[in-house]
Amino acid sequence: MTSAAGVGLKAEHFAEALATPAADLWFEVHAENYMVAGGARLAMLEAIRRERPISLHGVGMSLAGAADPDADHLAALTRLVERFEPALVSEHLAWSRLDGRCFPDLLPVPRTNEVLSRLDANIGRVQDALGREILIENPTHYLALRDHQWSETSFLAELARRSGCKLLIDINNVAVGAHNLAFDAAEWLKAIPGKLVGEIHLAGHVLDAEGTLLIDSHDAPVSDDVWQLYESFIARSGPVPTLIERDGNLPPFADLMAERDRAQSVIRGVLALAA
C-alpha cells in the first residue's frame, strides 16, 4: 500500500465507501468483527476489498498476556488474512484474555523484561502463522503502573527490533496518555524511530465526567493538538499510511472523508518536499 490516508470502515457507510471515487483511499476494519462464518457482513467486506486495499486491525489476540495466542483465534485471523489479503495487519500491545475469560478492552502491562520476552514470543507466533510482518499499536494510558523497567519508546523500539514487527503509532493514544500521566507527547514521538512506523492512527478523545482523565473514546473529530503532533511526526518520518478512526457518534461519511483528506494533504506535503 502506498503511504496514503484511510478511514475506519463502518457498516452504516458501506454504500458511500463503495461508491467514493477518492484516489488512494483504503479502509481498516476490526478483524474480530469479521470472524463469522458467513453472511452480509463478510459479503460487504468482499465488495469493498474488490475496490480498495484494506487493513485488518485485531483487538483480541491478547499479545501482552502470559499465555500463548489462542489457537482458534489465531486460526480465525489466518483465514481472514488468506481470504482478504490485507495490505496491513495490526494488533495491540495489550492483554484481553485471562483464565478462560475475555475482556472487551485493551488492558495494560508493566514494561518489564519478562513482558518484552512474552510479547516478542507471541508476536513471533502470530507472524509465523500469518507468514508476514504485523504492526503493534502503542497503548492508551490511564494508570501509572509501577515496576516499569523500560521507557515506553525504547520498549517499543526494542520490541520491533527483536520480533521484526513494525509499529502502529496511535498519536491520539500518545496525546491522551501524555495528559493522563503528565509526559510530553512531542518528546515521546521524537523518540520513536520513523523507519519502524508502518501506520499511524488519528482519533478523537473526550474528558471524563470528573474532568481529570482524557478518554480515548473515538467519538469525536481528531483534536487540534493531535493534528499538530501528526504534522510534526510526518515531517520528520516521511509519509506513513494514516487512518482516521471513529467508533462513536458516527458522523456522515463525508465528514470522516474531510478528516481523511486533511491527513492525505499532510502526506502529500512531505512527498512534495522530498521530490
Partner 1 sequence: MLLEFQREFAAAIGVPAEGAMRVYRNTVLSGCVDALRANYPIVTRLFGDQMFEAVAVEYATENPPREPVLALYGGAFPDWLEEQMWIWDVAYVPDVARIERLYIEALFAVDAEPLEIGALTGPDEGWRELRLALHPATRFDWLAMPGMSIWLAQREEVERKIDVDWQPEGVLLTRPALDVVSMSLNRAGHRFLFGIRRGEAVGTAAVAATTLCPETDIRSLFTSLVNAGAFAAPSPRSLP
Chain residues in the site for partner 1 (CB under 8 A): 32-33, 35-41, 43, 59-62, 65-66, 70, 72-73, 76, 95-105, 107-110, 112, 114-115, 118, 142-143, 180, 208, 212-213, 215
Minimum distance from residue 258 beta carbon to partner 1 (Å): 27
Which is nearer to partner 1, 76 or 169 (by Cβ)? 76
How far apart, in whole angstroms, are the C-alpha atoms of residue 167 and residue 136? Answer: 5
CB-based burial label for 224 (10 Å; 0-12, 13-18, 19+)? exposed
- Kindly state the smallest distance separating residue 222's Cβ from partner 1, in Å: 20
- Tell me how long the chain is: 275
Cβ of residue 38: shortest distance to partner 1, in angstroms?
4
Closer CB to partner 1, 175 or 270, in the complex: 175
**Please, what is the minimum distance in Å from the beta carbon of residue 59 to partner 1?**
7
By beta-carbon proximity to partner 1, the closer residue of 68 and 265 is 68
- Return the C-alpha cell found at 179: 495528559
Secondary structure (3-state) at 163: helix
Strands 5-8 and 214-215 come out as unpaired
Grid coordinates belonging to 126:
502470530
The DSSP annotation for 215-234 comes to: E----SPPPHHHHHHHHHHH
Instruction: Pick between residue 118 and residue 201 the one whose CB is nearest to partner 1.
Output: 118
Phi, psi at residue 266, to the nearest 5°? -65, -45
Based on its alpha-carbon atoms, the radius of gyration of the chain, rounded to whole angstroms, reads: 18
> Min. distance of Cβ 76 from partner 1 in angstroms?
7
CA nearest neighbour of 83 among 122, 56, 123: 56
> Least distance from C-beta 203 to partner 1, angstroms?
15
Which of residues 59 and 197 has its CB atom nearest to partner 1 in the complex? 59
Helix (H, G, I), strand (E, B) or coil at 104: strand
Nearer to partner 1, 104 or 131 (CB): 104
Residue type, 225: D
**Cβ distance to partner 1 smaller for residue 62 or 153:** 62
User: Packing angle between helix 224-237 and helix 171-181, nearest 10 degrees?
Assistant: 120
> Shortest approach of partner 1 to residue 147 CB, angstroms?
8
Strands 206-207 and 214-215, sheet pairing: antiparallel
